[in-house]
Every structure is written in structure tokens, then in C-alpha cells.
């Protein structure tokens, strides 16, 4: 069965994934980047038996590939940015395959500044990215040999989070990026309890291991790992320069970065969402 670690891009998924890999897949809770391989991105080429040549093909294999995961008869944690949606009547997942989801939320105004950096966009392009109801992403780091196995349908930021947090198909836990910063111990502890419950693990939370996992995956530590070229999930700018993945982190304060007029615009665009999620 699958436990999804789901989020809109640049919401903190890799941070949470790093913590979970350290806590569940190491002996002492100390993170190293090789542990990220234990929590794979879905979809990606490792789940497909062939290369996916067209973006409109990948969804056809969602259920088939998850059937293979199910056949292993073990709990599998997977990272995804895919919306919980259907394409041509094919759902992204079903309760048959999924035991639960951890959904990571983040203030969309801080997502905007991170998207701008990560995808080498200007602010207008980043806003259009977040409002685009047909938006999808894929790994284009090898433009001469693109494999659309990494195709992930996002839709708009608003509909993305609603698709996951409003589902009643399976158990879910919602984590705010801001709580990971303000209350890391309590938030990561509650996350571990939720994972243990889903996986029917009877072991009590190991406080020392939990502390080690939290400390070793602090933003500054992850940024240092990236500086030492030990992180392999970077993307590249339009002029082929490597873009820092761990860039602003907790220092990302939208009110200091986004131009004032644009702040007013985005507050209007996301007014109802900001109120609903207590970001206003």
C-alpha cells in the first residue's frame, strides 16, 4: 500500500521527505542524501517498463504501475506533486492502492517567490504558473531525450491543495510548512505517529532518533549538502546554470521580496484560499 507525500511544488516536500528517510530508513536518524532513494518520486521512469514519449501517455499507466507496487505487499512512501485528479476518466490513484496521504501546505505567496527562483521565471510567469488550471510539469533536464514518465499534472495551486485535503477516499494528515519552522519537534513527531498508525507499526516514537532526524535535516544542513554537490535533484536555468534547490527556506519572506502592486494582486487572486487556510 502507498502512503503519499503530496504537495504543490516548492511547498517543503523534499524537507519532509528528507526527515522521513532519516527517521525510517537509517539506524540512528542521521540524514544522508542517499536515503532519499528510499522515498521515490512518483511517477518516474523506475515505475515504467518503457519510455514515455508523449505527455498525454503517462496517466494511462498510473493504475498499472500502482498495481505493481501493491503486489510487493509492503508499505511504500512516495513523493508526488500530482493533483489528486482524473485524466480521461483515469484516476491518479484509488483506495485499493493508497492507505493515506500527508499533504504539505505552504503560504502561496512564499511559493510564488520559490517558484520564480526554481523555474527561472519572472513574477508574472510565476503567477501564471500557479493560476494555470492545465499546468503540468516533467523533468526536462535532458531536452534531447525527454522521458515523460515524470509527467505530473498540477492544475492551479488552489485546486491542487483542495483535491488532496478535501478527499474522503483515505486517511490524510495536513502539515503546514510554517509549522515545520515554528514547531519542528511537535510537527515531525505528529507526522511520525501518523505514519506509524498507517503502517501499523507498534514501536513507540524513538525520541533520540527523532531529534537526530530533525537536526540533520535542518535547512542549513540540507543547503550545505547541496553546496558539496551531494544533492542530485537540481534543475538548471535557461542559460544552463544550476539553480540552488535549497535557496531561501525559512528566510523566504514574501512581503520583503514581492513588489507591492504584485502583493495586492496575489492577495486578490488567492483571497478565499488565504482566509480558509488562515494565511490572512
Residues 244-269: what's their mean pLDDT?
Answer: 78
pLDDT in tens, 96-155: 999 999 999 999 999 999 999 888 899 999 999 999 999 999 987 666 567 788 999 999
CATH code, 55 = 3.40.50.300
Supply the DSSP string of 101-127, one letter for each residue: EEEEE--HHHHHHHHHHHTT--HHHHH
Amino acid 49: pLDDT: 86
SS3 70: helix
C-alpha cell at 103: 499533504
Amino acid 47: pLDDT: 94
The helix (run of H) or strand (run of E) holding residue 145 is none
Percent of the chain whose pLDDT exceeds 90 = 72
Amino acid 11: pLDDT: 95
Amino acid 237: pLDDT: 47
Amino acid 126: pLDDT: 95
- Output the average pLDDT for the chain: 90
Give the pairing type, strands 76-80 and 2-7.
parallel
Residues 214-240: what's their mean pLDDT?
Answer: 72
**Domain coverage including residue 252:** 2-276
Q: Which residue did the predictor score with more confidence, 188 or 248?
A: 188
Contacts of 71 (CB under 8 A, 6+ apart): none
pLDDT confidence band for 256 (50 / 70 / 90): confident
Q: How many domains does the chain have?
A: 1
Whether residue 158 is predicted with pLDDT greater than 50 in this model: the reply is yes
SS3 241: coil
Whether residue 44 is predicted with pLDDT greater than 60 in this model: the reply is yes
Is residue 149 a contact partner of residue 58, using CB atoms and an 8 Å limit? Answer: yes
pLDDT confidence band for 239 (50 / 70 / 90): low
Distance of alpha carbon 96 from alpha carbon 128, whole angstroms: 35
Instruction: Please count the other Cβ atoms lying within 10 Å of the Cβ belonging to residue 99.
Output: 17
Amino acid at each position: 500500500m502507498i502512503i503519499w507525500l503530496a504537495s504543490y511544488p516548492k511547498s517543503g516536500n523534499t524537507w519532509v521527505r528528507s526527515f522521513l528517510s532519516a527517521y525510517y530508513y537509517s539506524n540512528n536518524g542521521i540524514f544522508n542524501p542517499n536515503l532519499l532513494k528510499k522515498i521515490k518520486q512518483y511517477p518516474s521512469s523506475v515505475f515504467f517498463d518503457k519510455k514515455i514519449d508523449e505527455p498525454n501517455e503517462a496517466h494511462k499507466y498510473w493504475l498499472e504501475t500502482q498495481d505493481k507496487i501493491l503486489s510487493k505487499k509492503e508499505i511504500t512512501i512516495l513523493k508526488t506533486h500530482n493533483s489528486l485528479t482524473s485524466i480521461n476518466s483515469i484516476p491518479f490513484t484509488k483506495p485499493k492502492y493508497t492507505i493515506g496521504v500527508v499533504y504539505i501546505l505552504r503560504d502561496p505567496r512564499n511559493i510564488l517567490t520559490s517558484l520564480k527562483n526554481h523555474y527561472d521565471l519572472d513574477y508574472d510567469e510565476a503567477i501564471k504558473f500557479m493560476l494555470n488550471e492545465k499546468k503540468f510539469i516533467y523533468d526536462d533536464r535532458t531536452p534531447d531525450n525527454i522521458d515523460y514518465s515524470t509527467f505530473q499534472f498540477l492544475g492551479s495551486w488552489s485546486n491542487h491543495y483542495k483535491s488532496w485535503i478535501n478527499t474522503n477516499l483515505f486517511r490524510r494528515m495536513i502539515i503546514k510548512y510554517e509549522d515545520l519552522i515554528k514547531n519542528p519537534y511537535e510537527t515531525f513527531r505528529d507526522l511520525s505517529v501518523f505514519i506509524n498508525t498507517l503502517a501499523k507499526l507498534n514501536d513507540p516514537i524513538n525520541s533520540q532518533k527523532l531529534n537526530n532526524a530533525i537536526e540533520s535535516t535542518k535547512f542549513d544542513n540540507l543547503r550545505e549538502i547541496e553546496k558539496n554537490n551531494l544533492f542530485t535533484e537540481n534543475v538548471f536555468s535557461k542559460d544552463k546554470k544550476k539553480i540552488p534547490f535549497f535557496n531561501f527556506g525559512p528566510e523566504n519572506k514574501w512581503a520583503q521580496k514581492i513588489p507591492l502592486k504584485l502583493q495586492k494582486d496575489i492577495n486578490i487572486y488567492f483571497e478565499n484560499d488565504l482566509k480558509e487556510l488562515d494565511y490572512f
